[in-house]
Copies of this chain bind each other. A is one copy, B any other.
Amino acid sequence: MIVKVEAVLIADNPATFVTREIDGVELNFGGMEGDRHFGVLAKADSRQPMYKRGTEIMNRRQLSLVSVEELQGIADRLGVQTIRPEWLGANILVSGAPELTKLPMGIRMMLSSGGGLVCEGENVPCAGPGRVIAEHYDDKSLTKQFVIQAQKSRGIVAYVECPGEIKPGDHIEIHL
């Protein structure tokens, strides 16, 4: 399965998880340098309740990937025109992946540059992006609705297995 990179984005403003588009980036071990989720290690939080909060663990959530098709599906269900990848803090927007969120943990996603990512499965939706969407459309009900309507379509998280460049127009080969 081959998907196309439509946008590369970074969360480099410490005040927010919202990302901004960039021309491309050299992914390194740990993810995207300068991004708030960068690091080979990370501190356990509410996503890893089996570890005491703050414990150092391997960072399996370095990058967030979303698909054009799934974002449009969420927008349709919310009755809004569009959901921008920035609002979800996504790092990579791809097209050609209407079921991106269903990709299983552990599979490889090979970059055009020769680098590779490992899928860590569904990025379960939380209220943060919902609040950004609610603010944008000036409709508070969208916060909770996002969490409900984005289930199983909010994209995946991944980590860098092998460093390499990624930029819009590239393709990613998913090894199922």
Contacts and interface: CB of A to CB of B under 8 A. Distances in A.
Sorting the interface of chain A by its residue count into under 10, 10 to 19, 20 to 34 or 35 or more gives 20 to 34
Contact of A58 (B110, B114, B118): B118
Interface in A94-122: 104-108, 110, 114, 116, 118, 120-121
B162 A114 contact: no
Contacts of A120: 106
Interface string A52-95: 10011110100000000000000000000000000000000000
13 contacts: A40-B40, A50-B116, A50-B175, A52-B114, A57-B116, A57-B162, A58-B159, A58-B160, A58-B161, A60-B118, A60-B161, A104-B106, A106-B106
